[in-house]
Amino acid sequence: MQPATKKLARAIASQLRDIDKQSPVKQMAIYFATGRKLQEMLGDEGTYGATAIKDTVECVPQLRDENRAYEIMSLSGQGITFKKFVLEQTAIPMSNGQHLTLGHWIWLVWHHPTEDPREQKKWLHGELAWLRRESPSASVIEHIEGVLKQDSLRERELAEKRVQEAIRLLETL
C-alpha cells in the first residue's frame, strides 16, 4: 500500500469510526465526505496506486467491499442540490420512526428507471413515499437489490445466448 493511500485510509477510518452513533443526517454527510476522499484516491493513481480503493476497503471494514466504496463515491459525486435534498429527506423519519440510510439512498440512485429529469423526480418522490410508508430496513432493500441484479444478469445471459444462436443461424444460411 502506498504511504499516501495508508494516510488517507486512516483518515477515512477515523471519519467512519462510530458512525452508527451519529444522527442519520450526520451519517449521510460523513458518507459524502468519505466519497470525496475515495474520489481523490481514484483520481490520482500516481500518488495512491492502482489498488488504492481495494487497499482502503481492506483497512476500513465500514466500507464493506469495493462495490460499496464505489457506490459511496457515486453518491458523493452528485451535485450540492442533490446532497441537500438527501440530507433534508434523511431528517424526516419513516412511518416506523427510523430514518433513511445509506442503503436506502443507494437503492434510490441506482434504480431510477429513466433519464428524463421530470420522470426521475416523479419516480423518486413515489419511491420516497413508498419507503416512508413501508419502512423497509436497508438490509431488506439490499436483498431486493441483489435479487434484481441476479434477474438482470439472467436476462443478459439469455439475451447473449439468443444473439449467439442467431449468429450461428446466420452462419449456416
Q: Can you tell me the distance from the alpha carbon of 120 to that of 78, in angstroms, rounded to the nearest whole number? A: 15
**Nine cell digits for residue 15:** 471519519
Q: What is the pTM of this model?
A: 0.75
Please tell me the predicted confidence (pLDDT) of residue 32.
95
Burial of residue 155 (number of CB atoms within 10 Å: 0-12, 13-18, 19+): exposed
Mean pLDDT across 67-94: 90
Q: Model confidence over 36-75: pLDDT tens digits?
A: 999 999 999 889 999 999 999 999 999 988 888 999 998 8
